[in-house]
Chain A
Amino acid sequence: MAKRITIDPITRLEGHGKIEIFLNDKGNVEKAFFQVPELRGFEKFSEGRMAEEMPRITPKICGVCPTAHHMASGKALDDLFHVTPPSSAKKIRELINSAFMAEDHTLHFFFLGGPDFIVGPQAPAGERNILGVIQKVGLDAGKKVINIRKRLRNIITKQGGRVIHPVCNLPGGVSKGVTKEDREEYIQTGKDAVEFARFALKAFEDIVLKNKEYVDVIVGDIYKHKTYYMGLVDEDNKVNFYDGDIRVVDPEGKEFAKFKSREYLNHIEEHVEPWSYIKFPYLKDVGWKGFVDGKDSGVYRVAPLARLNASDGMATPLAQVEYEKMYDILGGKPVHNTLAYHWARLVELLYATERLLELAQDEEILDPDVRNIPTAVPDEGIGVVEAPRGTLYHHYKTDDNGVITGVNLIVATVNNAASICMSIEKAAKGLIKEGKVSEELLNMVEMAFRAYDPCLACATHSLPGHMPLEINIRDHETNIIETVRRL
């Protein structure tokens, strides 16, 4: 008897991320679908707007990572107006972006994805949240998390005006410089943030790496996909969040492509399915072969683990040590285990804090010359940054008057859309046998896509995090014959 299983995140009106699993006659998984049931259409309604308003319009794509959109948009405008920001402005932008990456990775590790590990994959769901984390690491440590997140966000508020949807980027620079007084505060925040990141890595080592059961889950086959990886790198092929070239490595870790943001259309194409509002990007030179991994499939992955795989290392000393350690323990590059995203995220947290401190300590950041006024006729611009959840592309075209005539956006999480589908299908296949659905399916499927930290706000507006799930197992006449629920 054919069965259909629906996993609905009950959050957000049984929508905004829905999983449908179809079983064959033998009760094994035939196919699984991860559907995204929402769309807003920024690409269309941005047409007709003044180009300089784009850094204020596009952050509304996502209130969780508005800073990443604000940065990609600012860079796209530099390119569009043919203007280079003064060095100080570039550093201020990167400072803001570093603070953002650090606070966002902190949020994910401690509040959203990390509880799976810190509290434990087998722990009751009710304990796998921030309160469970505080219980495990201690109240003082919990306070540390809240405090550092608040101080890092304060840097964005001071420079960007508002932390939810900053407003400071203009073509050719930023609207506001850094005061001496604020800089002192940023240096102190930077120092404390580096210590905090080291504390987070230590906690990961003590709680996760010293526990064989956890390590087995990380390296297990159920969460493994051999794909291509993409990320921004600097001139030494080190990870960079704000600037550089886009580098892609193949499933064996060899450089497959390295290109400038302006060349992205030569390398990326998007596929549409009628059953989801999300699009599925893939590598143009390999081609769309469906939801499969391997060298012959154009599916690639982005975000922390992908960035580390696509680079030759980290640009700051402490993060480099952690980078090497991760690959030593996991058996060299590239690492294909999806759950290693959590570890990579912490290596990046350390890099973001070290970079934040470097920039805050840089004397040039006090230079009041933070804007160059564009003089050329605007036409077309592309801005690419690394958002916490992956490579983010903003591409605008304007008329001579700087009015938007075309917009294309490839948003961080969307790059991972195909691999998220694949990860879910693989987890389902491993856990559903002959019609028997393990209770664990809920946890395991949740862990599979939480590792990507899918900012569905970007793609769908649904926030990641604790996602109550309900699986309905239906017979071929869609009658529910069994319900499995995770509260």
Chain B
Amino acid sequence: MAKPKVAFYWCASCGGCEEAVVDLNEDILKVVEAVDIVFWPVALDFKKKDVEAMGDGEIAASFINGAIRTEEQEEMVKLLRKKSGLIVAFGSCSHLGGIPGLANFWNRETIFTKVYKTVPSMANPSGIVPQQKTNIPEGELTLPEFYDTVKTLDQTIDVDYYLPGCAPPPDLIMNAVTAILESKLPEKGAVLAPEKSLCDTCPRGEKKPEKLSIKEIKRPYEIIPNPEKCFLEEGIICLGPVTRSGCGERCINANMPCRGCFGPTKEVVDQGAKGISAIASILGVEDEEKMTEEDTKKLIDQIVDPAGLFYMYSLPSSLLKRKRMA
């Protein structure tokens, strides 16, 4: 029997998701034995026209990482959708928009102005910015269009499954590949990670008090947190309560709070909004009745950059999606 065909593809990403595949180490050989990798731009030859020549659905599964931010990326993932039985959104950027999705607080013009005109090392008196078409004496040079808005993969094409994380950990990658090979996949649209919150699996969870209540917010640089204690108990914002587990508690193990790269748990629609409500339910609750409006405002002001913090990985996938530009 012919081996199932698998593709890896990348859009607006950093290359970390490809490193995650290389970090399978010896296991990568098992994957290579079981499937026929028909393309993987980082490692193998690949031409768009080869994909175009394939039959619809000929590729068993395509793993696509990175968000969508240029016309080329959009065109390519649409082609892959047509040719693939399954599309797996691989990693935070593809799943949620990821950190590059924070660019949705701005648009093309403001980004170009900053990068090409106003950064302090810039010497650009005539205000040149990159153009889609440039005429030079010898001919014409082209660049792809840079969109105003970063989109997730499922805002561009129909997605069957999601592999979360920045980057997804090796065990979840192997589990997903095995599930595909053995046809043991859950219902369409599922996130291929545990249905638990990070707090449920956090090594500090046992010591977390029954009822959390914090008097003030601390920023991570302001205190040295006790490595045994829950970050929230110490007043440091941690997105553990609203983030899906499965990462291996990597940041917690380095004594740093969660920033939500795995995205929300199943029942949550908007990770950021849920995060804000989780903090609101524990912040200053003990003295709530005695507090004036001004006290409350002071307390809330301790949360610096709530939009960037609670939506660090998920802005494009959230209900907000982007900032409305004037």
Q: Which residues of A contact B (CB under 8 A)?
A: 2, 4, 10-15, 20, 22, 30-31, 33, 35, 37-41, 43-46, 48-50, 52-53, 56-57, 59-64, 66, 77, 81, 146, 150, 153, 157, 159-168, 170-172, 175-176, 264-265, 268-277, 279, 281, 284, 288, 371, 373-374, 395, 401-403, 406-408, 410, 457, 461, 463, 465-466, 468, 470, 487
Contact = CB atoms under 8 A, between A and B. Distances in A.
B123 A41 contact: no
Contact of B76 (A13, A60, A272): A13
A15 B72 CA distance: 8
A2 B111 CA distance: 37
Contact of A45 (B20, B105, B119): B105
Interface string B67-98: 00110110110000000000000000000001
Contacts of A56: 256, 259
A43 B114 CA distance: 7
Nearest to A159: B254
Given A62-B15, A402-B219, A50 B103 contact: no
3 residue pairs, one from A and one from B, having the closest CB atoms? A63-B16, A161-B254, A11-B41
Nearest to B116: A272
A429 B254 CA distance: 52
B308 A165 contact: no
B167 A274 contact: no
A461 B15 contact: yes
B312 interface: yes
Contacts of B119: 43, 270, 407-408
18 contacts: A4-B139, A13-B72, A38-B12, A44-B106, A44-B110, A45-B100, A45-B106, A56-B256, A62-B14, A157-B250, A161-B256, A269-B123, A270-B122, A270-B124, A272-B130, A275-B130, A276-B143, A468-B47
Contacts of B10: 12, 461
Contacts, number: 248
Interface stretch (B206-214, B221-229, B262-270, B292-300): B221-229
A279 B123 CA distance: 11
Contacts of A61: 14
Given A2-B138, A33-B141, A461-B15, A162 B251 contact: yes
A225 B199 CA distance: 56
B121 A410 contact: yes
The binding surface of chain B is classed by DSSP as loop
A60 B98 contact: yes
Interface in B101-118: 102-103, 105-106, 110-111, 114-116
B272 to A, nearest CB: 14
Given A146-B26, A407-B119, 9 more contacts: A12-B10, A15-B72, A38-B144, A41-B106, A164-B20, A269-B121, A373-B221, A402-B219, A461-B66
A270 B13 contact: no
A4 B122 contact: no
A288 B124 CA distance: 11
Contacts of A275: 130-131, 134, 136, 141, 143
B42 A463 contact: yes
B18 interface: yes
A163 B254 CA distance: 11
Interface string B266-308: 0000000000000000000000000000000000000011011
B167 A63 contact: yes
B181 to A, nearest CB: 24
B166 interface: yes
B45 interface: yes
A35 B19 contact: no
Given A64-B19, A274-B134, A52 B143 contact: no
Contacts of A401: 304
Contacts of B99: 57, 60
B107 to A, nearest CB: 10
B23 interface: yes
B253 A161 contact: yes
A461 B308 contact: no
A50 B219 contact: yes
B126 to A, nearest CB: 9
Nearest to A81: B221
A463 B309 contact: no
Which of A44, A59, A371, A468 lies at the interface centre, i.e. has the most chain B CB atoms within 10 A of its CB?
Answer: A44
Contact of A170 (B20, B106, B221, B305): B221
B250 A161 contact: yes
Contact of B128 (A44, A272, A373): A272
Given A172-B221, A468-B47, A273 B128 contact: yes
Nearest to A375: B222
